[in-house]
Each structure stands twice: as structure tokens, then as C-alpha cells.
Structure 1
Amino acid sequence: MAVSDPDRVERDERLVRRRFWRKLRANLHRVPFLEELLAAYFCATDPATPYRAKAILLAALAYFVLPVDAVPDWLLIAGFTDDAAVLAAAVQTVRTNLTPGHWLRAKETLRAEKGGETESAG
């Protein structure tokens, strides 16, 4: 994805905002990288995050929420390995933009979600 393609970034953002929470909740006990996923989401949707970082994270998050990917998510052990690799590369690329606040909100949201409470789809 070209970071300079604003139409693509906008499509990714709409897709992520529409499907992220449903996919996250449906796979709450199957995805081993939830904290990173949530921190990436909060960074990507933070108005203070630079455009380039948003674009990279939104592309990775869009890959997570898409119903079709390289390794089907329903495969028990390997299902999310491709999603994890894409997210890890994105997070590593923009790591300086992920603030302590994003990580804290991710931890708190994960605790609430696993406790049965719901976080507003921020």
C-alpha cells in the first residue's frame, strides 16, 4: 500500500472502524496478540498520530478484519500467524508513535473485554 494514497487510507479506516470490535470480540480468546492489536487501533484512531503512522497501522488492522487472508483464521493454531506478522511489522515500523497512553488504554480495554464489560468503540 502506498502511504501517499489517501483514498486507500480512508477505505482502510472505514473498514477498521466498522469491523474491528466485532472481530476482536469474536476472537477474544484465540488471538495471542490482543494487546498489540488494541494499541495499534488506539494509535491509528488517535487524532495526534501522524498520517504516515496511521496509514501503516490502518493497513495492518484492515488485514486483520478482512474475512479473507493468506492463512484462514479458523485454522486453530496457524490461523492468526499471518495477521500477527503483518501487525508486528507495522508496529515495529511506527513504534515511536505508539505512546504509553495507547498501551495503557489497550491493557485496560483488554482487561474490561475479558471481564465481560464492553469498551466503547472509540
Structure 2
Amino acid sequence: MDEGQLQEKLEKGKRFYSSEKFWGKVRRYGKKAGGSVVYSVLLLYYTLQKPEVPKKTKATIIGALGYFILPLDLIPDVAAGVGYTDDLTVIGAALIQVAMYIDEETKEKAKEKLSDWFGGHADTTAIDQQLLQETDDE
């Protein structure tokens, strides 16, 4: 996905974001989406709550979360095995853009919520390593 396509998806997603819609989607589809998707959206959600995050960064987060909420994706979320692929692409790109604002406190909040839903069995290592690499590259 090139930068133009990502920006288009983020702009489209902004129209669908609200905190209520976010939590509703996570509750309904979290287990089906899997631990990586849920952890990623939780990281974005908790980063969005931080007052020190710039408005432009918050707009990126809102766009990505809105795309996650979006009722009609390019690949429907109910498609077995691949339904969250496009969501994860947009969410992953947003994570890379906002990595510098995701601190240990944010990760812990996301992991606690993830543990509540997945019983502590969700592996967050790959995403945490990606975030660490992104912040080290800067």
C-alpha cells in the first residue's frame, strides 16, 4: 500500500471513529480478529488518550481506528483467515507513524486489557519488537 492509498483509507476511517463504536467492534470481533489486531488497536486507542500527543498524530490514529470500525472493508472482516488483513495493514502503518508516542505505560494498559479478553495467552512480542525497531530508527 503506497502513501496515497494509506492517506485515503485514513481519511475514510475518520468518518467512522467514535469511542463507543471502537469498544463495540472490539467486544464483538476481538476474538475473531486475534491478539495481534486487538493489541495493535488498543495501543492506538490508549495513545489517542494521551494529552501530549499532537493533533496530527491523533488524526492518524482516529483514521486507523475508524478504518478498523468501518463496516465495509476491502476484505470483509468475517472472511475466514484473511478478513482483518487490510485492517492490520492500515493499523500497522499507523503504529509505525505514532511509535514515538507509545510508551511502556501505554503498552501495559493494552496488555492488561488484552489479558482480560484473551486470558493472558496473546503474544505481543512481534508488535513490541516492531515498535522498538521503529523508535530505534528515529
Asked if these proteins are the same fold (TM beyond 0.5), I'd say: yes
Higher helix share: 2
Amino acid at match of 1:91: L
Unmatched tracts of structure 1, length 5 or more: 3-7, 116-122
Q: Are the aligned partners of 1:41 and 1:61 in contact in 2 as well (CA < 8 Å)?
A: yes
Q: Are the aligned partners of 1:28 and 1:114 in contact in 2 as well (CA < 8 Å)?
A: no
Question: What residue is the counterpart of 2:89 in the other structure?
Answer: 85
TM-score (norm 2): 0.70
Offset at residue 16 of structure 1 (A): 2.7
Aligned residue-pair number = 108
Answer with 30-39 or 70-79: which moved more. 30-39
The secondary structure found in structure 1 opposite 2:76 is: coil
CA RMSD of aligned residues (A): 2.1
Amino acid at match of 1:38: L
14 and 73 in structure 1: CA distance in 2 versus 1, 3 angstrom threshold:
closer
Pair 1:55-2:59 in alignment? yes
13 and 48 in structure 1: CA distance in 2 versus 1, 3 angstrom threshold:
farther
| Runs (4+) off by over 2 Å | 11-16
